[in-house]
Structure formats: structure tokens, C-alpha cells
Amino acid sequence: MGEKSEKSLWDIAILERNRAEQENKELIDGNNVGSDGTNVFFLGSKNSGKSSIIMRFLDRDENPKPTVALEYLFGRRARGANTVKDVTHIWELGGGTFLTKLIDTVITPRTISIHEFLKQQLNRRINEDHPDKSLMEPLLVPLVIVGSKYDIYQDFDPEKRKIISKTLRFIAHTYGATLQFFSTKNESLVARARQLIGNLAFHFPPSKTNATDHNKPIIVPAGTDLFSQIGAPPLSDEQLGKISARRPMDLWKSAFCQYFPQEASTNSNTNKNPAADSQYTESPIDNMRIQKDKELEQYRRQSERKAKERKMAREADVVTSTRGGHYPDKEDHFFGQIMLRYVQDRTLIIVIA
């Protein structure tokens, strides 16, 4: 009987390295979206059209409902004749900047690949010999800025359209992002948006269209713009003298605000309680919530009553001790205040939870 051929640790290490390099190459070449699929994250201001873009990409003919917090959807596509389907996880953050802490739910070490791989992907989007490379601050993950509701934007004054377009181009180019305009009322723009998301989600071939005319829908793929083509901020010499900006981004922000003064938002999401919305009514859960609210209120009152009783007991002890010739130490009195405050803070924490 012949001897069994056994692989040494060195042989196994070489095979493992070759396998890892092959998988990494497939990811970079776009031949594989990974076993866990891709993640596409939508965020923006309220009523900006995020849900509409997602529904059109998923080819769902339904009216999108307002997104309360963080909403999850998914898309699938067949990979050739193979029965295995690629999956993309689609996340939408509602509420504008009010719920940005929920971003940590989506962007985790599990959903972001290793640093070196992201750098390789970045170099594919922005060439090393790009003349603006040293002036850009590109994100490692692909970023897309969508100018929605183009049907409204196209009726703006031409000068305003020019300022908005150039400002968005500057922001997108600085952060290595793709800039694209969109409207649900323009099928050509819908098709472009679907192609763009398909490229991000399933590595479809990217669009080669490049349009920078502010009188038409803008589409500028990442890494294809130039600061020299965007030009300087639309400010006169007198206006420039009044602005103290340390970074080009601050200068463009000041220029934009000169033409479009910013107003404080009066429709704060903190004033609205989604639990009171009739479209989310669920009788069993709502009844349980009412019961727990009553129990919580009862607990809060009991805690407040006990805190008052402790305070009165301490004050009575102070009077008794003083009559006996003993004056309370300042540190003891301060400790009593801390303990009272601790009980009150603890109650507040429970209410918040």
C-alpha cells in the first residue's frame, strides 16, 4: 500500500492565500457581490423622493408611504442560468437628520469590506493621475448625490439653476461622488436612476453619459468632473472681501447662501409622535402600550412620593440632631442632596426608556 500524500502547513498556507486572492479579484472585477449581498443606503431630507426612487428601481407600482425611522427592503436578480440569485439590501432613513444615529444599524464592520479593498475600489472610480486628486476628499465607499424633483427645478430662474448645479457639482467632485438629477415624471431620468442603482447593487455596467449643462438634467459620474470646469463661486470682489472662509467648501457654502438664504425649519420631527398616527394602529399593541403607560405613571408617582418622604425624614433628623447640640456636617448634607438627585434621575431614565 502506497504512502498517503500529506500537504505541509506551507502548502496549505499557499493554497489559502491563492484562494483569498482569487475571491478578492472577483470582487474587484465585479463578478461577485459577496455571499451577504450589497448594501445601498438612502438618506436625505423629508419628502425628497427617496422612497420613490427605491420603488421605481424595484419596479413596484405603489404609492410610497412616509418613512418613520429606518426602513428595509431588498432586491434580487438571477445570475445568468445559475439558480443562485444576487441580493441587495436597501435601507432608507426617514426623518432627515433627526434619526442619524440609526445609521450605525446599517454601517457596521460586517457591511463594510476591508480598508485596502475599499482603497482599490476608490482608485477604480478616481484615477491616480486625476489633476484634482490632491484637492479631493473622496469617501472610501461609493457616494451618490441625487437632485430629485427635476420637474420643479427646471422651472427655476436660469441663474438659480446655474448656481445650484455648480454648487452640487463642487460638493460631489470634492467627495468623489456621482451627481445625478431625477424625477418620477421623466421616464428617461427614471431609467438612468435604475441603471445607477443597478450598478451599485448588482455591479451592472456604469453609465458613460456625462452632462453638465445646467439647462438640462445633470449627470456626472464620480471622478469625471474638474474644478477648472466647475469654475469659481459666483461672488463679486466685494462679497469675497466680506467672507472669512478657510476652506473652499466654506466659500461655496457662503456663496450659495447669498442667493438662497437659509431659514430655520419650523416643522421639527421631534414634535410629531408616530405612535399617534392612525395608519400604524394595532389594537393589541396599542392597548398594551396604554396599560404600560399607566403602570409607568403610577411608578413615577410612587417614586416621587418616596423621595419626598426621605427628604422630610432627613430634615426631621437634622432638627433633632441640632436640638441635641450636634450640627450636621456639610458633606453629609451634600451627600443627601446627591442621593435625592440620584433617585430623581433614575426615575427620569426609566421614563425615557
Contact 249, 171 (CB under 8 A): yes
Task: Report the predicted TM-score, pTM, of the whole model to 2 decimal places.
Answer: 0.60
Per-residue pLDDT at 219: 93
Residue whose C-alpha is closest to residue 303's, from 266, 344, 254, 262 = 344
Higher pLDDT, 198 or 334: 198
Is residue 7 pLDDT above 60, yes or no? yes
Closest CA to 122 of 168, 169, 172, 176: 176
Q: Beta strands 144-147 and 178-181: pairing type?
A: parallel
Report the SS3 class of residue 99.
Answer: coil
Cα angle value 107/265/54 (rounded, 5°): 40
Digit-coded pLDDT (tens) for 242-258: 777 778 888 898 888 88
What span, in angstroms and rounded, lies between the C-alpha atoms of 69 and 348?
Answer: 24
The DSSP annotation for 283-305 comes to: HHHHHHHHHHHHHHHHHHHHHHH
CATH of domain 38-231: 3.40.50
Q: 284 pLDDT exceeds 80?
A: yes
- pLDDT 10s digits, 198-235: 888 888 888 888 999 999 999 999 889 999 999 988 87
pLDDT for 164-174, tens place per residue?
999 999 999 99
Instruction: Dump pLDDT digits (tens) for 82-120.
Output: 667 788 888 888 766 666 677 666 666 665 555 555 666
Average pLDDT over residues 122-146: 81
Mean of per-residue pLDDT scores for the chain: 75
What does the pLDDT look like over 33-68, one tens digit per residue?
455 678 888 887 778 888 888 888 888 877 777 777
Highest mean pLDDT among 43-57, 298-312, 332-346: 298-312
Amino acid 154 reads Q
Beta bridge partner(s), residue 219: 180, 211
Handedness of CA 167, 168, 171, 173 (dihedral sign): negative
Q: How far apart are CA 212 and CA 178, in angstroms?
A: 12
